[in-house]
Structure 1
Amino acid sequence: MKFDTVVLGAGIVGVSVAVHLQKRGRKVALVDRKPPGNETSFGNAGLIQREGVYPYAFPRDLGTLLRYVRNESLDVRYHADAMLKVAPFLWQYWRNSHPEKHAAIARSYSTLIEHCVSEHRALAADAGASALLRPIGWMKVFRTAGKQDAETRLAERWRQEYGVAFESLDATRLRQAEPDLDTALLGGLLYTESDSVSDPNALVTAYANYFERLGGRFFFGDADSLRPQWEVDTNEGTIQASGAVIALGPWSDHASARLGYRLPLAVKRGYHMHYAARAEARLNHPVLDVENGYLLAPMARGIRLTTGAEIASRDAPKTPTQLAAVEPIARKLFPLGERLDDEPWMGRRPCTADMMPIIGPAGNHKNLWFAFGHAHHGLTLGPVTGRLIAEMITGEPTIVDAHPFRVERF
């Protein structure tokens, strides 16, 4: 039960860290309370977003803010009883979303995004899971000319600054690509260099199985039992390790706080539901209904409808009001059939106030490392984060400059 490194958290980030360390000859234990890929990594839109060079900012225009205050928006809802606690985080989030600060953040963030597709493809090939990746891109669709023009200008900016590839689709080309979507749509944007995943849980499971084939060990255990320098209790006994990596997603703040770290973290909750497609209808790409803030994605289980963000306490009871609100709209966008899940799934996105993940040494403890805070891009950035952490731990040259993601920035 002695290891070089114990990785806490078996979502896409933790599994990727464990794989990359094991590939570099380290003896690694991966610990979680659930099987790999069964928390936040289980339910998402399945996008590997090569276009996501600008992380999702807090809106700053007055009209949008007033709409959010009414708490009736389709893309963002909040729990009133959580707002006092989360207010300091939201204030910092809003400040960091100023256009100049957001642009500076993107210059660092884009260095990770640049490698997201290539690192997933390499890891999937090694794990025998390439069939789960679909190199088909994903699209935004539009109901109004104003929104289409604004999003097209944004995509043009991303192309000029970071080489993001996209295709503008008029109504005719959109119908050719997606003949079963609502014919009232005016057009779309297709991000051609992004991949999508047919089953995110299966992909994380495949990566975890590859980790075990490399000689790594998975244990069921309690991250709250982590003790310097470094021990953690599992179902098979106490693990001792020379180093530890906290990759617990939305639970990372609790684990780090027990060790004395106070970090500006919060969660954005989200929901999904699977549906059958009516008759012979087929959805070929993941599709974001921009005006209404939900996404439909073809998955192995059916058509997955994913919601926007819910600002709430991490462990508050489910309130899938957004799902109920957008489902009738989604049924008009695409011919959805019956629900395939007994109840809506809820997940929690771990977010930092500056929209960038925390990747690197903890600072106040020897051989303790952080890898969390990826917000909407956990699936996207899992493999590149895993490689970066492994390179830092083993002293190799790093795939990107890790300095912008250090915990000391807080």
Structure 2
Amino acid sequence: MTQARAGQRVVVLGAGMVGVACALSLRQRGLAVTVIDPLGPGAATSHGNAGVLARSSLMPFNHPGLWAQLPNLLRGRNPGFRYHPLWTLGQWRWGLSFLAHAREPVFRETTTALDALIRHSGTVHRRWMDAAGVAQRRRDDGWLFLYRSEAAFAAGAFGRETLARFGVATRVLNAPALHDLEPHLKPVFPRTLWVQNASAVDSPGEVVRGYAAWLQALGGVLQVDQAQRLTRAERSWTVHTSGGAALPADHVVLALGPWSRDFLREQLGLRLPMGFERGQHRHFHPSPGASLNRPVYDTAGGYVLAPMAQGLRLTTGVELNAQQAPPNREQLEAAERAAREAMPLGERTQDPDWLGSRPTLPDCRPMIGACPGHAGLWLALGHQHIGFSTGPGTGELLAQLMLGEPTTIDPQPFSPGRFLRA
């Protein structure tokens, strides 16, 4: 491992939440940081999420209960999960590894690691939002898991027990208590779990852009360009871009989200076991007189509805498919139908429907650390659907590793060496 020191040049590839967070953490430690991204900050995957910052996100999709759910999931009857059969068969190695990690020992390791990363990120988020002037975008009144039947609520006992084990503050609500909290939800939810120590923002993309503006005020450089090629000479790297630039760097941080897999294979011949949890969103005007105070997750409908600056944002669950496959609006249309059963939605806004990919590794943990066999190359990728919640903690952990500082959280569960070899 080649450690960094103040004054050295770092090029960060990717300007989503994770890339910008890495750049901020490094710049605050005195490194000369340049971030490059073809779309600019917060314009891709970081733009499209539900904006929730919650410790309840420590629950990975491949938990031990997945085995019992698998027959129903494969039949395609779960509105929160869709898959493309041919693509999924082509990714059988990733799929088998993903299922192999749905065991109790791995689950405990993953939840412990993710909880530490999310908690650390929450602390840093609050500090950074104040410093970047975007704290007004945050609400701290939690979010809701909605259940359409007592049986569905009972089936969620494992998740609630896990949250309780980690001390996540929750409260179970009956229908009248839910009405007091969210009076414009329709009376179709007899039970609700209120995750109380959670926050949400009204525009994830604007928060990332606020962080990027703060980075530039601190002397960091942001370039709208695309990395096409990496070359190594002696002890330094050169990042060649589609715009014709050749950026020298003592260190390179790869934070390209779902584009990381192909980039590593094409540039370095590394095979990253990454799948894509694709998701979509659509915005609606609230019906006159109706409002939503916090994000809600309809566990039966498989969607999240969140109040945003753009209106009410409806986000879908998971679709396993190729990253570049054309949009399939069936899941989004089904989510809209279910949401209209729960909330008086108005007309769609003029914003186009959005599609993005959440990059997922087989154990549902990101890679944070040095790339094996490639001195000066660092990885911050594979954050599945919680990159917005875990970005600042990732940036801080990566900077601590790069500069040889004591780490705030245990880095071992996030080591790139668990899937990549020198």
Name the amino acid aligned to 2:392.
Answer: P
Gaps of 5+ in 1: none
Q: Which whole-Å deviations, capped at 9, do the CAs of 1:346-367 have from their partners, x for residues lacking one?
A: 0100100011100000021111
Q: Does 1:131 align with 2:136?
A: yes
SS at match of 1:64: helix
Bigger mean CA deviation after superposition, 306-315 or 333-342: 333-342
What is the TM-score with the length of structure 2 in the denominator?
A: 0.93
Q: 2:361 is matched with which residue: 338, 342, 352?
A: 352
Q: 1:307 and 2:316 equivalent?
A: yes
2:66–2:102 Cα contact (<8 Å) kept: no
Partner of 1:226: 230
Amino acid at match of 2:206: A
1:122 lines up with 2:131 in the alignment: no
2:304 corresponds, among 295, 299, 320, to: 295
**Which string of whole-angstrom CA distances, capped at 9 and with x for unpartnered residues, describes residues 144-170 of structure 1?**
1122233355324322x2111111111
Name 1:237's counterpart in structure 2: 245
Per-residue CA deviation, residues 16-60 of structure 1 (Å, 9 max, x unaligned), is 000111111110000111110011001011111222223222675
Q: Which moved more, 1:105-114 or 1:27-36?
A: 105-114
Q: CA deviation at 1:236?
A: 7.0
Q: Does 1:38 align with 2:46?
A: no
Written as runs of structure 1 = structure 2, the 5 A alignment for 1:127-206 is 127-152=132-157, 154-159=159-164, 161-206=165-210
Q: For 2:162 and 2:320, how far apart are their aligned partners in 1? A: 29
**1:377 partner SS:** helix
Aligned to 1:98: 103
Identify the match of residue 278 of structure 1 among 276, 280, 287: 287
1:242-391 map, 5 Å: 242-257=250-265, 258-391=267-400
After superposition, give the CA deviation of every residue in 1:254-276 in whole Å (9 maximum; x if it has no partner).
12222132221111100000001
Structure 1 counterpart of 2:181, one-letter code: A
Q: What one-letter code is carried by the residue in structure 2 that aligns with 1:237?
A: A
- Once the two structures are TM-superposed, the CA of residue 75 in structure 1 deviates from its matched residue by 0.8
Q: Which ranges in structure 2 are unaligned for 5 or more consecutive residues?
A: 1-6
- Aligned to 1:226, the other structure's residue is in SS state strand
Contact 1:358 1:407 in 2 (8 A): yes
Checking the alignment, whether the CA contact within 8 Å between 1:58 and 1:93 is kept in structure 2 is no
Deviations along 1:125-178, one digit per CA (max 9) or x if unpaired, are: 11111111111111101111122233355324322x211111111111100000
Q: Which moved more, 1:102-111 or 1:228-237?
A: 228-237
**Cα gap change, 1:16 to 1:164, in 2 (>3 Å):** same
Q: CA, structure 1 residues 56+153, in 2 after alignment: closer, same or farther (shift >3 Å)? A: closer
Counterpart of 1:209 in structure 2 is: 213
- Residue deviations 1:322-367, cap 9 Å, x none? 0111211111100001111453200100100011100000021111
Alignment-mate amino acid for residue 248 of structure 1: L
Contact 2:64 2:104 in 1 (8 A): no
CA distance in 1, matches of 2:119, 2:351: 38
Is 218-227 or 174-183 further displaced after alignment?
218-227
Structure 1 250/21 Cα, relative in aligned 2: closer, same or farther at 3 Å? same
Rounded to whole Å, the distance in 2 between the matches of 1:3 and 1:225 is: 21
Secondary structure of the 1:227 match is strand
CA distance in 1: counterparts of 2:283 and 2:314, whole angstroms: 6
User: What is the distance in 2 between the residues matched to 1:247 and 1:153?
Assistant: 33
Moved over 6 A (4+): none
1:124: Cα distance to partner? 0.9
Q: C-alpha separation between the residues in 2 aligned to 1:253 and 1:352?
A: 10
Asked whether the 8 Å contact 1:273–1:341 carries over to 2, the reply is no
Partners of 2:162 and 2:219 lie apart in 1 by 45
- Once the two structures are superposed, residues 262-310 of structure 1 have per-residue CA deviations (whole angstroms, 9 ceiling, x without a partner) of 2211111000000011111000110000112111000000000000001
The total of aligned residue pairs comes to 408
Letter of the aligned partner of 1:253 in structure 2? R
**Structure 1 residue 18 corresponds to structure 2 residue 23:** yes
Q: Is the 8 A contact 2:380 2:394 kept in 1?
A: yes
- Residues 77, 237 of structure 1: CA spacing in aligned structure 2 closer, same or farther, 3 A cutoff? same
Q: 1:26-105 alignment to 2 at 5 Å?
A: 26-57=31-62, 64-105=69-110
Residues 1:338 and 1:399: Cα distance change in structure 2 (over 3 Å): same
Q: Give 1:83 shift.
A: 1.8
Q: CA separation of 1:80/1:97 partners in 2, compared to 1, >3 Å: closer, same or farther?
A: same
Paired with 1:251 and 1:287, the residues of 2 have a C-alpha distance of: 30
CA 1:247–1:28 in structure 2 vs 1: closer, same or farther (change >3 Å)?
same
